[in-house]
Structure 1
Amino acid sequence: MTFPFSHRLTRRREFNDAWNRGKKYHTDHFIIIIRDNMVGPTRLGITVSRKIGGAVQRNRVKRLLREVFRIHYLSIKPCVNISIIAKKESPSLSYGQVLSEIKYLLTS
């Protein structure tokens, strides 16, 4: 399975809606915001600012988060918008660490 465009949050108002009305969870390396979208597939939006590091580090964090979402898509609660904001130490994480940190929140 790929990560299709229909499973992505792309517009600023979608991110803002999740931020303003969603439930926020803080982990050591991420802020995860979950908002019911009532209709449509579960969608993911990722925010990684330049404070995290250079383009290589930011893209690595995004790839790891998309891969966790893609592989565990069927076990994630349906019909929600998920916005994940990376914190400063997130580029040093491995795939297993990212998975263990966010899987519980995504599947509950």
Structure 2
Amino acid sequence: MLKKIHRLTSNRDFKLVFKDGRSFETEFIKLKIASNKKDVSRFGFIVSAKIAPKAHDRNLVKRRLRSAVRFLLPNIQSGFDVAIWPKAKVKGIEFQVLIDSLKNLFKKSLIWQEI
């Protein structure tokens, strides 16, 4: 689980990301990134019923995404709000492929920093 300070929770925050954010995508994941003028980066996860009709499956996808972001968090720059939503192909991939896909997106969006 991500710490509360690293979570996008309010509807207003998501709307700002969608309004002002830049879009990036790979074969498995789409994301939008907007700056937030804070000392931390925050992440929100959107999994629609089109991706997984059952709530159990949607929650599983979100848990895997959260875990991957938590693993990559030390290398992500502060000061960004990120909305992440998976494509349908994400259900069957291995965890390492998910991490690599997110890492590539963060590099494309220039918020990745090597430590």
Same-fold call, TM cutoff 0.5:
yes
Structure 1 segments of 4+ aligned residues over 6 angstroms from their partners? none
Report SS of the residue matched to 2:50: helix
Aligned to 1:33: 32
Aligned to 1:95: 95
Instruction: Give the conservation status (yes or no) of the 8 Å contact 2:38–2:78.
Output: no
**Deviation sequence 1:13-58 (CA, Å, 0-9, x none):** 1111111111100211211111111113111000001111112221
CA distance in 2 between counterparts of 1:12 and 1:25 reads: 21
Identity %: 28
Code of the aligned partner of 1:40: D
Instruction: Give the conservation status (yes or no) of the 8 Å contact 1:48–1:58.
Output: yes
List runs of 5+ in structure 1 lacking aligned partners.
none
Aligned to 1:76: 76
Shift of residue 12, structure 1, vs aligned partner:
1.1
Report SS of the residue matched to 2:27: coil
TM-score (normalised: structure 1): 0.90
CA distance in 1 between counterparts of 2:72 and 2:25 reads: 20
Instruction: Give the conservation status (yes or no) of the 8 Å contact 2:25–2:105.
Output: no
Report SS of the residue matched to 1:72: helix
CA distance in 2 between counterparts of 1:16 and 1:94 reads: 31
